[in-house]
Chains A and B, each alone.
Chain A
Amino acid sequence: MTVDASRAELEERLRDIQSITDADLSRLGPQDLLSELLERGRDILQADTAAVLLLDYSSGQLVATAAAGLEEEVRQGVRIPLGRGFAGRIAAEQKPVILDHVDHTTVLNPILWAKGIRALVGVPLIAGGRVIGVLHVGSLTPREFTSDDVELLQLAAGRAATAVQSLIMREDRIAAAALQRSLLPFALPASDAGQLAARYVPGEGAVGGDWYDGFTLPSGQLCVVIGDVTGSGLPAAVIMGRMRSALRAYALESADPGEVLAKLDAKMQHFEPGAVATVAYAVFDPGMDRVRICLAGHYPPVVAVPGRPAELADVALGLLIGAAPGAQRPVTTLELAPGTLLCFYTDGLIERRDQAIDDGLARLCQAVSAQPPDAACAAVMAALVGRQPARDDIALLIVRRSPQEAA
């Protein structure tokens, strides 16, 4: 092949890659997109095998996700630790690697050399400045991959990586929203003694880790929870789900809200190190005449007594969950007159970039009044949210002791 011919051929192969537009890629589902990437990788290098391993952030391992001519890699669930072996090195160093000899000294995954692959070239899949995986292409006949091969493969990988990343993010967003929906109670408990109402509005960007819960214990006590896991998207929603279940389990074991949050804190610090969350947990007596509240880094509820302006309840503050071991968990008891309403909320409701938190709290107090919970929720959302899109998640949970005449 003359220099000119190879140059022309290179240019043609480049045009092939670029002919697939991002719009085309965005229309494909995740499996089709990966298949497309593999086919492209194999075609442009005229090679025999191709595989994509995607990085699983929680385990720090590359997971074989799609393959052509090397399907067993996916079927056997190959996982490669970051930094080890051929693919692990590419991801860790964020650099292409060419192997002219494939055996147990150069490649960690036995499937590759057992298959008879003689030469390999691999490039990192980089999106948004982060490695999201590795694409590698192999030859069953001896061959020396060149720097031109690497460049072509990188071009193919570059366009696909962005598409793969946005697909993963889209799937994560959908999963997080579904998880969030499944974890909010379908129906809140209600009795003659008291009623509940709630609102949840996801933030504009991604679903966050806000949640609320309401349930009764076998003793007839009513428990309400509101919380906010720091972070957003699927990771925050997953932690939120674990916290919600753990709190319910501890609630069955102890009627003391301080003990329940202490256990939840210990559980979180052991199993989810690094995660932080705020929680307000309240246990109402069956007659709704008394409530015990424990706050872990959460804003106190607003209390509205019929005929009086609403105010921030005087409840002891406690350290947020996940910050330090052995925190004190103070519990405050409030007596509730008939018709009294308690309003729990997450910070998304009151925090605004252009105003002090105290202003937000003052506006909330003005909007809350002792009325039926659903009407109270509507009034609060109208006054504090109005037509503004929510930047952060907003959760609102209102509990009212029935007025005397309804009891």
Chain B
Amino acid sequence: MNAETHDFKLQRAGPQVVVAMPAEIDIGNADQVRRALLSAMEPQVTVLIVDMSRTTFCDSAGVQAVIAAYRQAATTGTQLRLVATEVLRIFTVIGTDQLIPVYPTMEAAQAEMS
């Protein structure tokens, strides 16, 4: 019923860190998502890219996890970026595109200067 647990792959490129998100995010794994994002924000990380390019479903619990990461990022000065295609709609409706820049591809997200 609920989304399955996910093995979070962290990919580091200098001060940029990419966290790959699961295909589905809901109450079943949102807490895991939140912890993965918060723990990825180590002091030397200036840009955290949340890779939702393979995510096809994200409910409000998933949104809350991303917002928690945004709040933490705002206090530590980390820049949060989102890569989203299929779940882009939900992030537009909730208006977080005003807070967190959203990119259509990983290349676009990584190319942006911090």
- Minimal beta-carbon separation of B16 from chain A (angstroms): 23
> Is the CB–CB distance between A392 and B59 below 8 Å?
yes
A276 and B64 contact, Cβ closer than 8 Å, known pairs A296-B95, A347-B59, A353-B57: yes
> Is the CB–CB distance between B86 and A327 below 8 Å?
no
Interface residues of B in 31-75 (CB under 8 A from A): 57, 59-61, 63-64, 67-68, 70-71, 74
Interface digits, A251-291 against B, CB 8 Å rule (1 contact, 0 not)?
00000000000000000000000101010000000000000
For B61, the chain A residues whose CB sits under 8 A away are 230-231
Docked complex Cα distance between A202 and B86 (Å):
27
> Is the CB–CB distance between B59 and A351 below 8 Å?
yes
> Is the CB–CB distance between A230 and B60 below 8 Å?
yes
Docked complex Cα distance between A327 and B93 (Å):
14
Docked complex Cα distance between A101 and B79 (Å):
53
Q: Is B92 an interface residue (CB 8 A)?
A: yes
> Is the CB–CB distance between B27 and A232 below 8 Å?
yes
Q: Is A44 an interface residue (CB 8 A)?
A: no
Q: Closest residue of chain B to A361, judged by CB?
A: B89
- Minimal beta-carbon separation of A351 from chain B (angstroms): 7
Q: Is B96 an interface residue (CB 8 A)?
A: yes
For B89, the chain A residues whose CB sits under 8 A away are 356-358
For B60, the chain A residues whose CB sits under 8 A away are 228, 230, 276, 278, 347
For B99, the chain A residues whose CB sits under 8 A away are 319, 323-324
What is the interface size of chain A, counting residues whose CB is below 8 A from a CB of the partner? Answer: 28
> Is the CB–CB distance between B86 and A323 below 8 Å?
no
Instruction: Name A357's contact: one of B70, B90, B95 (CB within 8 Å).
Output: B90
For A276, the chain B residues whose CB sits under 8 A away are 60, 63-64, 67
- Minimal beta-carbon separation of B88 from chain A (angstroms): 10
Q: Is A403 an interface residue (CB 8 A)?
A: no
- Minimal beta-carbon separation of A320 from chain B (angstroms): 5
> Is the CB–CB distance between B96 and A320 below 8 Å?
yes
Interface residues of A in 352-400 (CB under 8 A from B): 353, 356-358, 391-392
Docked complex Cα distance between A319 and B60 (Å):
14
> Is the CB–CB distance between A319 and B94 below 8 Å?
yes
> Is the CB–CB distance between A327 and B64 below 8 Å?
no
- Minimal beta-carbon separation of B25 from chain A (angstroms): 11
- Minimal beta-carbon separation of A389 from chain B (angstroms): 11
- Minimal beta-carbon separation of B61 from chain A (angstroms): 6
For A391, the chain B residues whose CB sits under 8 A away are 1
Docked complex Cα distance between A319 and B99 (Å):
9
Q: Is A241 an interface residue (CB 8 A)?
A: no
Docked complex Cα distance between A55 and B67 (Å):
27
A356 and B86 contact, Cβ closer than 8 Å, known pairs A232-B27, A276-B67, A347-B59: yes
> Is the CB–CB distance between A299 and B74 below 8 Å?
no
A324 and B70 contact, Cβ closer than 8 Å, known pairs A230-B61, A232-B27: yes
For B90, the chain A residues whose CB sits under 8 A away are 357
For B94, the chain A residues whose CB sits under 8 A away are 278, 297, 319-320, 323
Q: Is B98 an interface residue (CB 8 A)?
A: yes
> Is the CB–CB distance between B95 and A320 below 8 Å?
yes
Interface digits, A197-237 against B, CB 8 Å rule (1 contact, 0 not)?
00000000000000000000000000000001011100000
Q: Is A298 an interface residue (CB 8 A)?
A: yes
Q: Is A317 an interface residue (CB 8 A)?
A: yes
Q: Closest residue of chain B to A323, judged by CB?
A: B67
A353 and B24 contact, Cβ closer than 8 Å, known pairs A230-B61, A323-B70: yes
Q: Is A133 an interface residue (CB 8 A)?
A: no
For B74, the chain A residues whose CB sits under 8 A away are 324
Q: Is A318 an interface residue (CB 8 A)?
A: yes
Interface residues of A in 275-334 (CB under 8 A from B): 276, 278, 296-299, 317-320, 322-324, 327-328
Interface residues of chain B, those whose CB is within 8 Å of chain A, are 1, 24, 27, 57, 59-61, 63-64, 67-68, 70-71, 74, 86, 89-90, 92-96, 98-99
List 15 A-B residue pairs with CB atoms under 8 Å apart, sorted by A's residue number: A228-B60, A231-B64, A232-B27, A278-B94, A297-B93, A298-B93, A317-B92, A319-B96, A319-B99, A320-B63, A320-B96, A351-B59, A353-B57, A356-B89, A357-B90
3 nearest A-B residue pairs (beta carbon): A319-B95, A297-B94, A230-B60
